[in-house]
Amino acid sequence: MSSVLSLARPDILQLQPYQHATWDPSLERMHANEMPWRASGDNSAAGLNRYPEPQPKALVERMAQLYGVPASRVLVGRGSDEAIDLLVRAFCRAGEDSVVICPPTFGFYKVAAKIQGAQVVEVPLLRDPFALDVPAVLAAGHRAKIVFLCSPNNPTGNLLDEATMLGICRELSGSSLVCVDEAYIEFAGRPSLAGRLGEFPNLVLLRTLSKAYALAGARLGTLLAGEEIVDLLKRIIPPYAIPASTVEEVLQLTQAPQRASSAARIGTLLEERARMQGRLARMPAVARVFPSDANFLLVEFRDARRALGAGKVVGLLVRDFSAAPGLANCLRISVGTPEQNERLLAALEHL
């Protein structure tokens, strides 16, 4: 067994996976206890009376093409949230194993670990700029199963240093997976680490269609990793995980013309991000605007509650992070349309 698989839960390695109804579109289906007719009004291509293909081949190939990796390195799931959950389930024994997170960061790593009964070791980001505390991450990582890094990080907005992340990955090979969540990478003007997967068997990447591709409602996330990790996770992903409607919509909405329009939208969003950064930084109500490589801005206000209230008065909701450790008076503002941004800026300028 390779060293990376030896990190997985032994009972999961032994598990006899659920046997799906065989997928063979050349034969008519009388083997899956489905209704033979469509529901009335069902105009879907595949027919919603039928279970979808597990890990649909066309979808996996589309994501492989989108992210520039071979299809064997791709696992698709219901959002990257599902990929996080699967990783923790496959690698962490309840009550025994741990994951490392670097707060302030995306909240679901911790929740997924706790649901699984894994311990969560927190190694806070260093400040000014937000950056990894490498010796502390390594010390905790040597005793953990998964180190979650988020780049660009939510909610701070900044990229983590690529050489540092890969250095951590190298140091921890044989002792821990390093999962780099690239949910916001398309806004960063930097390439993904996908091209480096071949060099690091313990590197796992998370990508999503929820942000740059404007498909959060479709719920499609992709995990990119070595084949062995992908094959292991395929054994535990719930049967028929991706709804047929999602498969059809995603195949339709990630073709070349849609990809071009999404690239153009990202361009507009980045212009708006810069405009908001400039305006916010000059406001008396604002103590600090943190640099952002993502589609949101972390902003420290003099009085976050007043700023939150001013947004609500003009019908806009931003996210309050002021209770998070180290983020007193901070709000996270997702960049909106130019009209929404203008409405928010005008409201905050009057504070």
- Establish if 208 lies at the interface with ligand PMP (CB under 6 A): yes
Q: How far apart are CA 27 and CA 149, in angstroms?
A: 45
Could you give the CA distance from residue 253 to residue 237 in angstroms, rounded to a whole number? 24
**C-beta of 79: minimal distance to ligand PMP in Å?**
2
CB–CB of 212/186 below 8 Å? yes
Number of neighbouring beta carbons within 10 Å of residue 117: 13
Q: Segment contacting ligand PMP (CB under 6 A): 57-65, 78-86, 131-139, 312-320?
A: 78-86
State the Cα–Cα distance between residues 283 and 106, nearest whole angstrom. 28
Q: Which residue bears the tokens 């919603």?
A: 48
Q: Which is nearer to ligand PMP, 103 or 221 (CB)?
A: 221
Establish if 216 lies at the interface with ligand PMP (CB under 6 A): yes
The reply to whether 222 sits near ligand PMP by the rule CB under 6 A is: no
Give the residue, chosen from 79, 104, 141, 311, that forms a contact with ligand PMP under the rule CB under 6 A. 79
Least distance CB 124 / ligand PMP (angstroms): 17
Q: Minimum distance from CB of 216 to ligand PMP (Å)?
A: 5
DSSP string, 302-346: SSHHHHHHHHHHTT---EE-TTSTT-TTEEEEE---HHHHHHHHH
Q: Does residue 221 belong to the site contacting ligand PMP (CB under 6 A)? A: yes
Q: What is the number of other CB atoms lying within 10 angstroms of the CB of residue 173?
A: 16
Q: Which of 163, 215, 166 is nearest to 186 (CA)?
A: 215
Q: Which of 7, 8, 60, 183 binds ligand PMP (CB under 6 A)?
A: 183
Q: Among residues 81, 248, 293, 300, which is the contact residue for ligand PMP, using CB under 6 A?
A: 81
Answer for which of 98, 116, 151, 154 binds ligand PMP (CB under 6 A) is: 154
Based on the shown chain and the rule CB under 6 A, indicate whether residue 317 belongs to the binding site for ligand PMP: no
348/341 Cα distance (integer angstroms): 11
Q: Is 103 in the site for ligand PMP (CB under 6 A)?
A: no
Nearest to 150 by CA among 175, 123, 179, 121: 179
Q: Nearer to ligand PMP by C-beta: 153 or 329?
A: 153
The footprint of ligand PMP (CB under 6 A) covers: 79-81, 106, 150, 154, 181, 183, 208, 210, 216, 221
